[in-house]
Structure formats: structure tokens, C-alpha cells
Chains A and B, each alone.
Chain A
């Protein structure tokens, strides 16, 4: 390839991810943001103003003048939205913590397993992805409902007499989220733990650390980048989760994904749901930026 050709090629390679972000993130976001500034209308599309080529420049400016932040003001006036955001953050936070508590030992066990066994274990973690997410969540209904497998089993072995009411409670949501997002926690943790140099543990022991304390002083701090990555991968999608609260949660369950769905489909209020989505995005951008920083730091450390 000529020098010029390779220069163009290297530019092109850089352009691809930017173009991807532009078309599939930035432009859709601006469309959503623009709708959030509109007002509802009984029309198609169900909001106004709607831009048309025939408007001309003055018409365009007049229509832009109609934009307002009323929908955002509305979100602050009705406690429903604030509660939904807070409740989503809380549910996602608790689920992330539970996922970490379950995922860390799994990832640690996998990293300590004999080298020949590791690909199989990794496969087992990824295996659930081969089934549709929706089907897996539906399967939990069959497990958790009052006459479901879990209650039958517990009654069968005599631990309880009356069925546990898990279905349609927040418990079911926690179970659903933890189950669904566990692989996203395990994989980054495993990759962090698997890279760990075992001689570091030996060095810690050599210097007077019993095995457990060597774990807390060496293994754990060195796996923090993996913990951060795993937590972000679980927390961020869990905040906006809709399917799990809709299928497993009760009618009183407040999560922002469900609220958004209601505004959009039941109320047919595109502008308010667009405002809800924009605020949700802002809430999530903060942890994403935090995550990026942590990654950059980890990379520097790994050098």
C-alpha cells in the first residue's frame, strides 16, 4: 500500500467508531432530547412542533421558539418520577452488591481452578446467553410463583408450610436482576483474577501473611479494576431495566424503566417519556465517566 493509501486507511479506521457513535448514539439522543422539549398532541407523531421542509427558515425559528423545558419541570413536580428514579437506583445498587457478593467467589474459584478446567467453566458462565433473555425471565415466574418449583420444593422437604410470596415483590426483581446480570459481573472479575500472578500471594505469605490476609492485602486490591468494571456492567443496565420488573415485579414496583414504558405506551406522552429518558441518561453518564476514569487508572497501573 502506498504511504498516502495507508494514511487514508488509518484515518478511516478512526472514523468508523466515531461514525458509529454519531449515528447510533448522538443523533438518536438529539431526537429524544428534541422530543422531550415538545408538547404532546393528538396527532401523528404525537407531539408538536413537527418540523417540515415547507416551513422555511422563519417557520423553523418560530417552531424552535415553541420548545420548552416544561416536561422537565413536570418531572420535578410529580413525586412519582423522583421516587421511581431513587427506587431504580436503590434496586440496581442492591442487586449489584448481591451480584458482586455471589460473582466474586465464582470468579475466584474459576481463576483458581486447574488450567484445563477453566475454558469449560467459562463456557458454563456464558451458556445462559444461548437462551433468550425473555424466556429465562419467564422461567423464573415458573420457579417463584406461589405454586412454583421453589415453593413446592421447600414445602416438599418440610421447611415451610405455606408458600413464600416472592413473585410480584421486589425480592423477585432482585433475584431476576442478580440472575440475569451475574455473567457480566463474573467475566470481568475472572479476567482480573486470572491474570493475577500467584507468586504475589507466595510473596505475601513469605513475608508473614496467612492465606486469608494475603487475599485481602494483595488479591482483593489488585482485583478492584475488575470489581469496578463488573459493577458498572451490572448497575448501568439494571437502573433502566424494564423486562424484569414488568414480568417479576408487582404493580406497586417503582422502576424508571417501567414508568417510562407507561408514559410512552399507556399515556402516549412521548415528550414526558423522552424527558424521563434524558434524565436517566444523565444519571447513568456519571457512573460511566467514573468507570472510564477507573479503567484509565487501571491501565496506567498495569503498565
Chain B
């Protein structure tokens, strides 16, 4: 069976119509004065899911998280957690914990007492607190730093303390607000995988807010792409990337070439699109817009092939152009090809070999081609 990308694990409760969502936002709206931060949003998150809210700043993703934590109350709509409407429950009574973007570690407490803070609030017996704190310190590999104050730690260590503190109470849901935002690139990549392992190991539901698509793609089971208080698409990373439902999502995630045109023929799950650039795209389409309607066609740079010779296979889409610019990135080379109409498309090719004989150079005439299933017809 063909699928979009490689699905990381056989975990997909959202495809099961009988599965009960763990967290439900139902028609949630949040307004601050005139500003609508979250706009009539409905969303389901499942038990043990690693769920990412992705969007540019101001899209409402943080507000959504803060409503889940209880710091903001929805203007209307309901938020259901594990079968219970939590809209009116104050943050200190919710079975969720949050890892703050700034970490919000208590500067006057040691690492130990930071991690044990929530447990002391719950009135857990002292010896049990000590045990749990030790366990948490081990989990985040900070056993040696128990007696330190936050200002004596590095950024990465603080991040771990914040994580340990938010996990110490064994919340039903862990909320992470830009958890890796303050770390440098190397550490961020390492920590991504640590977070994923941790989530698997503990079997918790994670909801993470991020503006970093790579982070969301790497870690999340599903991603909700948000814009202006609305969820535009909720899907697995592969679906989001390979089958964006809209121009916004296609454009927001990764690089994309979008060709606009009119549907000239439609049927058998295939359509023909006459693009405004003067050539015809034959492509498979998940949905079939009626002939004559306007449609956009999105294709990722790595799905385009750049060759000197015209492709022989007649079923392949091809257009002639001229190399406009070349960007060498090390792992791949990006070709900007100017089509006859003047439109520049981006094509990237992996540099699988160290040496290339007679590489394609500036101003050369080339063919850009792609197969019938390489691109996707956008719905709007």
C-alpha cells in the first residue's frame, strides 16, 4: 500500500472513528478586546499523542495552550479534558502541567526544590517527594546538579529542570511552549529526540507550541497548522508536507512552487490543468474540481527534475526553461529555472555524488519535469 512519507509508528487513533479524543476544543473562541486570538476553533487531541500547534507568532497557538493550562478562559466554547469540561477550573486544580518558554524556574530555589515544588503543593509525604525528585533528576540526567540554583546552570540544563518540574506531578497532559526555542541548534536537535523518547516512555499526551516547522515535523504525531486564530489543517507531518489542503499550508511548510491555472479536463481521479504559464499539467487529484474552475497546483522543489534532454516518457509533465540561478547548499543544489512565461520555479537535487561530470551551469537551456503524482492540486 502506498502512503505519504514514512509513518513513524503505527499510532493513529485519529483514523479510528471509535477512538475517544482525550482533549477536545469545541467551538472555542477567545477575544482580547477587539482582537480575536482564537476563532471558533474545534480540535481533537488523542491520548498519548504528541501534538504540535504550529504557526507564525500571533496565530493564537499560545493562547490555545494557555487556555488548556487555565491561564486564559475561553470567551465561548468548551474545552474537554478526559471527559470533563475544564473551562472553569483554575490552573492549580488542572491535571495538566506546562513547561514555559522562559522555563520560569524559581530563582530562589535549588534545582531539587524547583522540581519538588508541585509535589509539596499536593502535600505528598516528604520521603515520597525525595524519591520522585531523585527519579526526575535521573530522568533528565541532572543528578549532580540537585543542590544548584537555576542561575548556576547552563541554558540546556535549565531546560531540563523545567521539563523535570513539569513532569514531576505526572500530569495527564504536558504542555510545552516553544520548549527548545532558547537552545542552540545542535542541542535543539538532540533534545527533540530526547523529548520524543520521554513521551514514548512515559506514555503521556504532549501538546507543544512551536513556530519552528522542522521541530514540529520531527517530533509530532500530528500537527495543527494555525493562522489568525483558526486551524487550517490538522494532519501527520507527512500529510501536511505532501498533501497540504491549502495554499497557506503548502506555502507555510517547506519550500513550494505554486502554479495557477484553470482545470481543462477532469475525470478518473485525474485532471488537466492549463496553467497561466502556458503549459498543461496532468496530475492525479484527490478531489476533482469541475472543468473550467480555477485551481492551484503545488509541487515541492525536490520533486522537480532538471535535465538537459527533454524527458522521453510522454506521460511526464515537462516544461522548457533556462537556469536563472544556482544555489549550492552542500547536501543539495537548488536550481532556479526561468520558464518560458518568465515564472521562476525552484528545483532541488540531492548531491549524492561528490563529483559530477559536466554539471548544469548558469544560463543553460534545461527541461523541468515531474510525474503525475508528484504535486498536489490545492483546494483554494
Contacts and interface: CB of A to CB of B under 8 A. Distances in A.
Given A202-B71, A204-B117, A209 B92 contact: yes
Contact of A197 (B97, B102, B117, B166): B102
A207 interface: yes
B108 A301 contact: yes
Given A200-B106, A202-B104, A218-B106, A207 B90 contact: no
B106 A205 contact: no
A199 B178 CA distance: 14
B151 A207 contact: no
A208 B69 CA distance: 11
B98 A206 contact: yes
Contacts of A207: 92, 97, 117-118, 121, 165, 169
Contact of B121 (A199, A200, A208, A221): A208
A162 B102 CA distance: 60
Nearest to A198: B104
Interface in A206-233: 206-210, 213, 217-218, 221-222
A220 to B, nearest CB: 10
B313 interface: no
B252 interface: no
A154 interface: no
A206 B65 CA distance: 12
Contacts of B104: 197, 199-200, 202-203
A303 interface: yes
B267 interface: no
Nearest to A214: B92
Give the secondary structure class of A's interface.
helix
Interface in B151-166: 151, 165-166
Interface in B281-324: none
Interface residues of A, number: 20
A208 B118 contact: yes
B151 A205 contact: no
Contacts of A205: 70-71, 90-92
B145 interface: no
B344 to A, nearest CB: 45
The size class of the interface chain B forms with chain A is: 20 to 34
A210 B100 contact: no
Contacts of B117: 204, 207, 217
A214 B252 CA distance: 40
Contacts of A210: 90, 92
B254 interface: no
A202 B90 contact: no
A199 B69 contact: no
Among A203, A209, A218, A303, residue most surrounded by chain B Cβ atoms (within 10 Å): A203
B107 interface: yes
Interface in B79-124: 90-93, 96-98, 100, 102, 104-108, 117-118, 121-122
B343 to A, nearest CB: 47
B91 A199 contact: no
Nearest to B122: A208
A301 B122 contact: no
B100 A222 contact: no
Given A197-B102, A207-B165, A222 B108 contact: yes
Given A204-B117, A207-B121, A199 B97 contact: no
A221 B106 CA distance: 10
A236 B309 CA distance: 90
Nearest to B115: A207
Interface in A172-211: 197, 199-200, 202-210
Given A203-B104, A218-B106, A301-B108, 5 more contacts: A206-B69, A206-B97, A208-B118, A213-B121, A222-B107
Interface of A: 197, 199-200, 202-210, 213, 217-218, 221-222, 301-303
10 contacts: A199-B102, A205-B71, A206-B98, A207-B97, A207-B121, A210-B92, A222-B107, A222-B108, A301-B107, A303-B151
